[in-house]
Amino acid sequence: MRDDIPELQNKVYNGDTQAFKELYDCFCASLLQLAMAMVHNREMAEEIVADVFIAVWNKRKSLPQVTNLKWYLYAATRNIALNYLRKYAHKKTLQLDESYLPDYEINPEAQLISNEMVRHINKAIGELPPQCRLIFKLVKEDGLKYREVAVLLNISIKTVENQVGIALKKLTQMKGILTIPLTGNH
Amino acid sequence: MSNDRIWILLGKQLSGDISPAELLELEALLKDDPEAAASRELAGSIWQTPVQEVAATGSSKERIWEAVDQQLHPRRHRAIIRRLVAAAAAAAVLAAAWTGWQLMGPTAPVLQQLSSAPGGKSRIVLPDGSIVWLNANTQLKYEKNSFGKQHREITLTGEAFFDIAKNDGIPFIIHAGKVNIRVLGTAFNVKAYEGDSAVFTTLVRGKIAVSFQEKTVVLQPEEKLTVPVRPLATAFQQKRLQKDSSGQLAEISWLNNKLAFDNNTFGELAAKMSQWYGVSFHFESASLEQLRFSGIIDTESIEEALKMLQMSRPFNYQINGKEVRISN
């Protein structure tokens, strides 16, 4: 995840549409995944994510007051998703649907670790249980705090701790991983 | 390998969400479990392996952007009504939540707002033990439930002097307009009234980092930083300050040169003024001591101050060196 979010935030505040697009590119996939895990419907999830970004743009003059834009986007996605759920009254609680969780692929920009290793790890991540995979992804890839993930998914911090622990344990114990030489260590 | 606690703690360490106590616990556990210790390195590599999801790429991402992009140019496109309704609903949700979320914690945020009385100054002790002196017409806001626990962030409008309680774990952050000041434990003055053309930060002791847009400047003691905000400029002015003859920085003289009183009796006020001016008061009658006054003495001389008091209540005074006589 990019580390210049505050800079983007400031540019968007100043009406920079290019920066806004960059912000969108940075968060769209993650937010869509969260929305889909909540509403189980791709079309609705797309609308939710669109609503989040439209609201950010329309309220960009208030952006300086947002201290953590990343968390703000996730929280907004969750809240708007809950609103959709209330409106359509299909589901009252969150349930993670396996069919909408993404597969993982290699990020071609980062080749620090051998391709073989990356392939194995991604395969292993793909085999984690859906909830475990989503929580692991939110913590590791999206860099959310444990308490933030707990709030987003309406689960306890203990559950987040356990699921990340389970994911790590399973991944390190994947068959084959230990036999591949590590090249990404510093 | 059967110890799940190790994995939970490893996860917390890798994500940077681990407490010092948990870190100690992890080290102890790893010492007793060589096998897990060997996996630790592997877990670190896994953590650093970048992954990217396939699902949202492609058509979804483009479709969403199309809908969003229409809103960037509202005059060029007439958006679909359904979209507008949805956006309005979303905006309403955001608008309602926006204020509270600026200092968001997982619990419902309670915004604590502290103000100095107009024309008066106040001393406030924050929940973390930090002390703040507010100058006149100054407001301080922070999130009541999480302040001092998850964060130490406050928003300042006006002028205040901070004596920050040391807490290496949670930096103290002051938002003054578009300028952010980050502190670990120190004493300094911030002047950021709404009408001011710049945000002025004066450091007395310790070390602070002031950031504005993308720039950050570290201040040394007795340095003053001026960040122009009207018109917006990215140039900082950083200068070393001279102490005045009394060994004080003029920037924080307001801390000392105001005597505020609110509906105090003349007797109480006389006690304050005695200290203030180094004089002694003598009242001709007890009833005079019961007169009540409200106001502030700023840089006035004692004579000017007494004349000011005379405007609200009738009395006479006589100054003889260090003695002040109050009569009817």
Amino acid (one-letter) located at A174: M
Of B46, B57, B67, the CB nearest to A171: B46
Cis peptide before A64, with omega less than 30 degrees from 0? Answer: no
- Please tell me the predicted confidence (pLDDT) of residue B104: 41
Minimum Cα–Cα distance from B9: chain A residue: A165
Assigned token pair, B92: 């309403």
Pair (A145, A79) in one structural domain: no
Assigned token pair, A142: 């999206």
Minimum Cα–Cα distance from B60: chain A residue: A46
- Residue B72 pLDDT > 90: no
Measured at the CA of B246, the angle between CA B240 and CA B248, to 5 degrees, comes to: 40
Q: Do A32 and B55 touch (CB under 8 A)?
A: yes
Contacts of A173 in chain B (CB under 8 A): 1, 39
Q: Do A47 and B214 touch (CB under 8 A)?
A: no
Tell whether A112 is covered by a domain: yes
Q: Does B153 touch chain A (CB under 8 A)?
A: yes
- Please tell me the predicted confidence (pLDDT) of residue B109: 63
Q: ipTM of the predicted structure?
A: 0.71
Pair (A84, A111) in one structural domain: no
Long-range interactions of B222-228: CB distance < 8 A, separation 24+: B222/B249, B224/B200, B224/B251, B225/B200, B225/B201, B226/B198, B226/B199, B226/B200, B227/B179, B227/B198, B227/B199, B227/B200, B227/B201, B228/B197, B228/B198
Q: Do A184 and B45 touch (CB under 8 A)?
A: yes
Strand B152-163 relative to strand B139-143, pairing = antiparallel
Strand B198-205 relative to strand B223-228, pairing = antiparallel
Range 46-105 of B in CB contact (< 8 A) with A: 46-57, 60-61, 63-65, 67-68, 71-72, 83, 86-87, 89-91, 93-95, 97-99, 101-104
Of B4, B15, B45, the CB nearest to A140: B15
- Please tell me the predicted confidence (pLDDT) of residue B283: 93
Domains of chain B: 4-48 (no CATH), 59-101 (no CATH), 111-251 (2.60.120.1440), 259-327 (3.55.50.30)
- Residue B62 pLDDT > 60: yes
Q: Do B8 and A117 touch (CB under 8 A)?
A: no
Pair (A77, A131) in one structural domain: no
Pair (A13, A83) in one structural domain: yes
Pair (A32, A82) in one structural domain: yes
Pair (A61, A30) in one structural domain: yes
Of A58, A88, A118, the last residue of a domain is A88
- Please tell me the predicted confidence (pLDDT) of residue A91: 42
Provide the domain limits for residue A139.
107-179
Mean pLDDT (whole number) for B262-267? 83
Q: In the structure, what pLDDT confidence band is assigned to residue B38 with cuts at 50, 70 and 90?
A: confident
Q: Does A102 touch chain B (CB under 8 A)?
A: yes
Q: Do A28 and B11 touch (CB under 8 A)?
A: no
Q: How many angstroms separate the CA of residue B243 from the nearest CA in chain A? A: 35
- Please tell me the predicted confidence (pLDDT) of residue B117: 58
Mean pLDDT (whole number) for B288-312? 82
Tell whether A100 is covered by a domain: no
Pair (A118, A172) in one structural domain: yes
Q: Do A54 and B87 touch (CB under 8 A)?
A: yes
Q: Do B53 and A137 touch (CB under 8 A)?
A: yes
Assigned token pair, A169: 């344990």
Pair (A84, A114) in one structural domain: no
Minimum Cα–Cα distance from A114: chain B residue: B49
- Please tell me the predicted confidence (pLDDT) of residue B242: 65
pLDDT tens-place string over residues A15-49: 888 899 999 988 998 898 888 877 777 888 888 99
Mean pLDDT (whole number) for A46-61? 90
- Please tell me the predicted confidence (pLDDT) of residue B253: 65
Tell whether A37 is covered by a domain: yes
Mean pLDDT (whole number) for A98-109? 43
Minimum Cα–Cα distance from B102: chain A residue: A66
Q: Do B87 and A62 touch (CB under 8 A)?
A: no
CATH number at residue A133: 1.10.10.10
Count Cβ neighbours within 10 Å for each residue of A74-100 and write b for 16 or more, e otherwise.
bbbbbbbbbbbbeeeeeeeebebeeeb
- Residue A177 pLDDT > 80: no
Of B45, B94, B95, the CB nearest to A185: B45
pLDDT tens-place string over residues B215-240: 778 888 888 888 877 666 656 677 77
Pair (A10, A79) in one structural domain: yes
Q: Does A52 touch chain B (CB under 8 A)?
A: yes
Q: How far is CA A105 from CA A3, A115, A167, B208, in A?
A: 22, 11, 17, 43
* Separation of first and last alpha carbons in chain B: 90
Name the phi and psi angles at A20, rounded to 5: -65, -40
The answer to whether A80 touches B86, Cβ cutoff 8 Å, is no
Q: In the structure, what pLDDT confidence band is assigned to residue A53 with cuts at 50, 70 and 90?
A: very high
Tell whether A184 is covered by a domain: no
- Please tell me the predicted confidence (pLDDT) of residue B23: 83
